[in-house]
Copies of this chain bind each other. A is one copy, B any other.
Amino acid sequence: MNASRTARERVRAELIREITDIARRHLATEGATGLSLRAVAREMGMVSSAIYRYFPSRDDLLTALIIDGYNALGEAVEHADAACARDDFTGRWLAVCRAVRAWALAHPHEYALLYGSPVPGYAAPQDTVAPAVRDTAVYGRIVADAHHAGRLTPPPICPSPPAILAQDAEVVRSLMPDVPDDVVARAIVAWTGLFGMVSFELFGQFNNTITHRAELFEHNMACLARLLGLPE
């Protein structure tokens, strides 16, 4: 009875898995707007209406892919960080940067889904927020570790953040505990700088201009590391 129930559940889970797999493949080749429930159903030998037994709408399928994407990126970032010596904070930051860029280049459409223009009419449900910060959590840990090890020497060039940002810093501190406001602010600069760089490359802003993208990326991330206060 329990076994039989799980039997049905199992085939259902298997079908859901197959749907998302096919959908992810379609996403990778055609992009988000080219993802169609009917095409997925066709490839599964199903009639289109049957898909709705498993995903009540196209947006729900998209949500599943988004969550998968955040988790895949987060996992890649976690692995990259884990492969570094714990006290090599600059190395950990650079490893995270490279992991983000590599994953984005390998999965451009998924990256666009996560960090590109939001799909109109689509509101990210609450289930996405936890996977969405997996990569940021790794980054926050690096910043916090470096700070607590006394290896984060703020460059003298940055102004100190206005007092009003203290509230927001408090929220961000859940990812990088016990770090002062100015470090939080610089951490945001570096983090947005990383994704600005990756997005520019991936979304075509470097076309006809930058050819040595890996080298430029490496150099720019080193610059941001210095701005963040990481040692050389």
Contacts and interface: CB of A to CB of B under 8 A. Distances in A.
Contact of A223 (B164, B189, B211): B189
A216 B168 contact: yes
Interface in A196-232: 196-197, 199-200, 203-205, 208-212, 215-216, 218-220, 222-224, 226-227, 232
A185 interface: yes
A162 interface: yes
A121 B34 contact: yes
A144 B181 CA distance: 33
A124 B207 CA distance: 11
Contacts of A226: 157-159
Contacts of A193: 189, 192-193, 196
A168 B210 CA distance: 5
A168 B227 contact: no
Given A196-B196, A200-B195, A212-B165, A224 B189 contact: yes
Interface residues of A, number: 60
Interface stretch (A6-14, A43-51, A80-88, A108-116): A108-116
A102 interface: no
A195 to B, nearest CB: 5
Which residue among A116, A192, A203, A222 has the maximum number of chain B CB atoms within 10 Å of its CB? A192
B120 A164 contact: no
Contacts of A210: 168, 171-172, 188
Given A116-B203, A171-B208, A188-B220, 12 more contacts: A112-B117, A157-B157, A158-B226, A162-B219, A171-B209, A172-B210, A185-B223, A192-B197, A193-B193, A195-B196, A196-B199, A199-B199
Interface of A: 30-34, 109, 112-113, 115-121, 124, 129, 155, 157-159, 161-162, 164-165, 167-168, 171-172, 185-186, 188-189, 192-197, 199-200, 203-205, 208-212, 215-216, 218-220, 222-224, 226-227, 232
17 contacts: A32-B120, A33-B33, A109-B120, A129-B208, A157-B223, A159-B219, A159-B223, A159-B226, A162-B218, A167-B211, A185-B220, A189-B224, A194-B196, A195-B199, A195-B200, A195-B205, A196-B199
